[in-house]
Amino acid sequence: MKTSTQERLIETTRELLWERGYVGTSPKAILEGAGVGQGSMYHHFTGKQDLALAAIRRTGEEMRAAVDGLLGADGPAYDRIASYLLREREVLRGCPVGRLTMDPDVIASEALRAPVAETIAHVRDRLAAIVEEGVDSGEFAAHLVPGDIAAAVVATVQGGYVLARASGGTDAFDAGVRGLLSLLEPSPAPAA
């Protein structure tokens, strides 16, 4: 199946944003990666920012769908959070959305920052809802604040990416995930 020029531009931009960030993603690199001419880019998009916005939105949509699939599954709250934390990731590449928060041009642009913030908020909100279910069912301790735990989960993942990239290995990411899961693990019910 032949991919449309617009799709090739968006997919190439997504990869370049993940690899290089917004500043490092030049229109020339996009055009070369997509195998199209300059006229094609400006036929579909008003410029680099417009194309980057489409790419960031697509990445956010895919991330939200993946998170919804994991957290929307049946089963105990702990298991659903664990499935999110333990899912397959390209840890050393970092998060394709989270990395954009470190890009000054993305943060300076309300248009580019909005889908990044929306995606992170969506993940945090979904996690908070799962923690709340766990608290309500007695699976998690009653004193847990769902929003705080959700923020800790997101911070563990995003911070784990940073530590992994800094060390050049996944050990720090994996240790953070294991540590958080051990803190969330439900206590066995007392014997009657």
Domain ranges for the chain: 5-184
d(CA 93, CA 61): 19
Beta-carbon contacts of 26 under 8 Å, excluding residues fewer than 6 positions away, are none
User: Homologous superfamily of 5-184 in CATH?
Assistant: Tetracycline Repressor, domain 2 (1.10.357.10)
Distance of alpha carbon 174 from alpha carbon 170, whole angstroms: 6
Per residue in 55-105, pLDDT tens? 999 999 999 999 999 999 999 999 999 999 999 999 999 999 999 999 999
Residue with tokens 């920012």: 49
pTM of the shown model = 0.90
- Return the half-sphere exposure (C-beta side, CA atoms, 13 A cut-off) of residue 192: 0
132-164 confidence digits (pLDDT tens): 999 999 999 999 999 999 999 999 999 999 999
